[in-house]
Amino acid sequence: MPVTYPKPIVVPPPEGGATTAVCIFLHGLGDTGHGWADVASSMPFEGVKWVFPTAPTIPVTLNGGMRMTGWYDINDLSIDNIKDDRDQTLASTEYIQGLIKAEVDSGVDASRIVIGGFSQGGVIALQTALRSKERLAGAVGMSTYLALRDDFPDAMSPNAKDLPVFLAHGTADQVLQYQYGVASHEHMTEKLGMTAVSFQTYQGMGHSACQEELQQLANFIANVLESTVV
């Protein structure tokens, strides 16, 4: 049975201005778009609309088959035992590609769209960015990893080679260990030859976000969109 993606939360540009850029940000396992929507008010960039999609509700093997919001099924958290859920990962990637297309069709240039996410959301954001036929402004992956690695570089769009990417991970992450972030950064830069991938480390941070990280995220978005906070 096909999964259903709830309607995203949309936060228009501050003070009702025209939309000149879009940030699409994806939540982690068990969360919803509401869980990250406050980011929009903390980063009120002129002309920037925020879109916070919500994942479908699916059975999750890691949690004994319990149904919860998830961009894909996950069986294990260890690097050695985790298995990629190819079908649902690609289905969610296709869904996000559709959201990007809708923004482009509405008149926003793809080069003014940032795609990002936390944990599972970051997985889908990176998949979307690396496969995108459109040249995006940038990609963000927080406390996450690059899945379906064997697909790349064959599945990688030429646009991804110099795509600005902001990766961030805490050293005390007990859900997706810090090594996930380190290995993903190394793979993207050394194996895939991506030239604009930065990796930020946050000492003592768990599977969460901190103020310093959010400030650096704001700086990254401002730089790739050449935008200013209002």
For the segment 9-18, what is each residue's pLDDT rounded down to a tens digit?
A: 999 998 787 8
Tell me whether residue 80 is one of the annotated catalytic residues: no
> Which member of 27, 92, 173, 184 is catalytic?
173
> Which member of 27, 169, 185, 207 is catalytic?
207
Q: Rounded to two decimals, what is the model's pTM? A: 0.95
Structural contact between residues 96 and 120, judged by C-beta atoms closer than 8 angstroms: no
Tell me whether residue 27 is one of the annotated catalytic residues: no
pLDDT at 69 over 70: yes
What pLDDT is recorded for position 16? 80
- Determine the Cα–Cα distance for residues 93 and 87; give it in Å rounded to an integer: 10
pLDDT in tens, 175-191: 999 999 999 999 999 99
Structural contact between residues 158 and 65, judged by C-beta atoms closer than 8 angstroms: no
pLDDT in tens, 117-140: 999 999 999 999 999 999 999 999
Tell me the domains of the chain and their CATH numbers: 9-225 (3.40.50.1820)
**Interior CA angle at 188 toward 8 and 182, to 5°?**
90
Give the closest residue to 190 by CA, choosing from 152, 221, 223, 164: 152
- Determine the Cα–Cα distance for residues 225 and 212; give it in Å rounded to an integer: 20
> Which member of 92, 119, 184, 227 is catalytic?
119
Tell me whether residue 169 is one of the annotated catalytic residues: no
Strand partners, 68: 58
H/E run at residue 220: helix 211-225
**pLDDT-based confidence at residue 226 (cuts at 50, 70, 90):** confident
**DSSP state letters, 85-100:** -HHHHHHHHHHHHHHH
